[in-house]
Amino acid sequence: MACNRCCRRQTTVRNLNQNNFIPSAIEIFNSLTQTVAPNEQIVFLQTNYNTGVSFSTDADNLGINIVETGVYKITFTGLASSGADETISLAITLNGEQFPQSEVSQSLLANSTSIVSTTMVFKVQSPNASIGAKNIGTSDFNLTNAKLDIVRIGNF
């Protein structure tokens, strides 16, 4: 049996300006099939959840704006398909530019579906960082159930 004096837990939420960590997360997705051309950003039509003050959605549905500095974990997942055997490549982007450490290639068999996924952790040092994902390969492919999860995991 735990004592009531020293074993009670307290939760305190503080203002971000006090440089204390406040976790937040957002998930955006597009369940519709979209054809993604080379160098084209992936479209996300809906926000599934948004639990914090760190994000705002892009008006053009191409990603999320991170509005607070911090350390973020970003995961992209989708179902890719093509009419021919080919290798596709995707990357998570910051302000439209790809993060090399997030690049992923996936071999597709003709007329079948494969899961494509990539995850990265990075530090946002200035507000209004636009995060998205894009086709960095040389071929068109179809993408269904595209999902971008962003979680604020710490301060720096």
Instruction: Tell whether 6 is covered by a domain.
Output: no
What's this model's pTM, rounded to 2 decimal places?
0.82
Instruction: Tell whether 129 is covered by a domain.
Output: yes
Instruction: Tell whether 83 is covered by a domain.
Output: yes
3 state DSSP class of 71: strand
> Do 63 and 95 form a contact (C-beta atoms < 8 A)?
no
Q: How far apart are CA 43 and CA 128, in angstroms?
A: 19
Instruction: Tell whether 84 is covered by a domain.
Output: yes
For CA atoms 34, 38, 40, 44, the dihedral sign is positive
Q: Token pair for residue 143?
A: 């993408």
Q: What is the domain-level CATH number for residue 86? A: 2.60.120.40
**pLDDT tens-place string over residues 5-23:** 444 433 334 444 555 667 7
Q: Token pair for residue 107?
A: 């071999």
Instruction: Tell whether 115 is covered by a domain.
Output: yes
What was the pLDDT predicted at 55?
83
What's the total number of domains in the chain?
1
Instruction: Tell whether 19 is covered by a domain.
Output: no
**pLDDT tens-place string over residues 62-110:** 888 888 888 999 999 999 999 999 999 999 999 889 989 999 999 999 9
* Cα within 13 Å of Cα(71), Cβ side: 8
